[in-house]
Structures are given as structure tokens and as C-alpha cells.
Structure 1
Amino acid sequence: MKKYIILLLVLMIRLDATACESCKKSGGFTGITHGPGPDSNWDYLIVLVMVVITLYVLVASIRCFIKPGEKSEQHIKRMILNNMKP
């Protein structure tokens, strides 16, 4: 496991060396974006909203997979699960 962490760190360091001239000029976003990067605080707000929505959908999906709310014996999942039993 230690070898993989070291390899990942080395690869992350090398990303800066392989960036194009436009990426190198972008400052803190070197190797992450192609071009100038965020122009204003609105760009950060948009990304933040997208991250919040994505995390909400991820948590809701995992919650539905782990603990589904359907308990009816007539639900379609029961028909599928019962057909899979040997």
C-alpha cells in the first residue's frame, strides 16, 4: 500500500512538469485546468452548488440501496428476488 501512495504522489508532482504553457500561467490551478481557471467568485459558487447536489444524490442513492423503504410483499423487487432463489 505504501508503494501505491508514493507512486501517486510522484505522479501528482509530475503533472506540473507536463502542463502546457497556458496551464502553467494559471497559477494555483496548474495541471488541473486547461486555460485561465476561474474568473470570479461566481465560478466557485457554481462549483460548490454542483458539489453539494452531487453529494446529496450520492448519499440518497446509497441510503436507498442500503435501507429501501418498500416492505410490501407485492412490490416488484420481491418478485425478482424470489425468482433468483434456487
Structure 2
Amino acid sequence: MEKLKKILTAVLMLAATYISACDACKSQQPEITKDLTHGVGPESDWDWFIVGIVILITLVAFYYTVKYLVQPGEKSKDHIKHSFLQ
């Protein structure tokens, strides 16, 4: 368990350097995404609209994923999950 903690810590520390934006990219980004991403920021209002739609789709998909994992709602005795569980 201790070895796993050390490996996980090392991976997260290395990932943190790649996740945050470099200094050159920070100067090109708008204030809201300054520390989050590399490259040039959104160039028009349509870019922000597209980002908003993608965020909305992601949140809806995440909601339904959690909902159906926690309580799938299948009550039929001949459902395939019962043959797998037995």
C-alpha cells in the first residue's frame, strides 16, 4: 500500500506540470482560462458558445452515468445482469 501511495504521488506530481499552462500560453489566454490550457484562447463569441455546449453535454452525460450506475432500475428476473451475477 505504501508503494502504491508513492507511485500515485509521483504520477500526480508529474501530471501537474503538464496540466497547468506554461508562461507563454498564459499570456495568450483570456482571464478565465489563463492557468488551465495551452495554446491560443477562444477567438470569438462562437468559440465560447461551443465550449458551453460541450460542457453542458458532458454534465448531462455524467449525470446519467452516475444515475444509472447507482440505481439502474432493471427489475426483470430474466435480465442479462442476473445470469452474469450467478
Give the alignment's TM-score, normalised by structure 2: 0.63
Counterpart among 60, 71, 75 of residue 71 in structure 1: 75
* Aligned residue pairs, count: 67
Structure having greater relative contact order (Cα 8 Å, sep ≥ 6): 2
Give the corresponding residue for 1:55: 59
SS of corresponding position for 1:78: helix
Aligned in 2, Cα 1:56/1:24: closer, same or farther, shift over 3 Å?
A: closer
Q: Structure 2: give runs of 5+ residues left out of the alignment.
A: 1-12
Aligned CA distance change for structure 1 residues 57 and 24 (closer, same or farther; 3 Å): closer
Q: 1:38 aligns with which of 34, 42, 65?
A: 42
Please state how far the C-alpha of 1:34 moved relative to its aligned partner: 1.1
Instruction: Please give the secondary structure, in 1, of the residue aligned with 2:23.
Output: coil
RMSD: 2.5
Q: Percent of aligned positions with the same letter in both sequences?
A: 31
Runs of 4 or more off by more than 3 Å in structure 1?
none
Unaligned runs of 5+ in 1: 1-7
Match of 1:19 in 2: 23
Hey, what's the Cα distance between the residues in 1 that align with 2:72 and 2:26? 48
Report the TM-score when normalising by structure 1.
Answer: 0.63
